Amino acid sequence: MKRRSMAALMLLSFLFGGCAVGNKHNYADVVADVRASGSSSVSVATHDQRPYVVSGEKLPQFVGIQRGGFGNPFNVSTLDNKPLADDITGVITASLAKKGFHAVPVIVSSSDSGAAVLERSKAAGAQRIVIVTLNEWKADTYNSVALAFDVDMSVYGKDGRRLAQKNIKGRDNLGGSAWSPPAHAKQAVPVAFRQKLEELLNSPEISKTFE
pLDDT single digits (tens) 40-67: 999 999 999 999 999 999 999 999 999 9
- For residue 99, the SS3 value is coil
How many domains does the structure of the chain reveal?
1
CATH number for the domain spanning 52: value is 3.40.50.10610
pLDDT category at 14 given cuts 50, 70, 90 is very low
Contact by Cβ (8 Å): 189, 181? no
Q: Where are the alpha helices (DSSP H) in 21-71?
A: 51-54
Please state which of the ranges 16-25, 137-146, 183-192 shows the lowest mean pLDDT: 16-25
Q: End-to-end CA distance of the chain, in Å?
A: 70
Cβ neighbors of 106 (< 8 A, separation 6 or more) are: 43, 44, 45, 89, 120, 121, 124
Q: What is the pLDDT of residues 109-158, one digit of tens each?
A: 999 999 999 999 999 999 999 999 999 999 999 999 999 999 999 999 99
Cβ neighbors of 30 (< 8 A, separation 6 or more) are: 91, 190, 193, 194, 197
The C-alpha atoms of residue 100 and residue 154 are separated, in whole angstroms, by: 20
The C-alpha atoms of residue 86 and residue 117 are separated, in whole angstroms, by: 14
Burial per residue of 107-123, b for 16 or more beta-carbon CB atoms within 10 angstroms, e otherwise: ebebebeeeebbebbbe
**pLDDT at position 106 over 60:** yes
The C-alpha atoms of residue 155 and residue 32 are separated, in whole angstroms, by: 17
Domain that holds residue 188: 2-210
Percent share of the chain, pLDDT over 70: 91
Q: Given phi > 0 = left and psi -120 to 50 = alpha, else beta, which region is 163? A: alpha
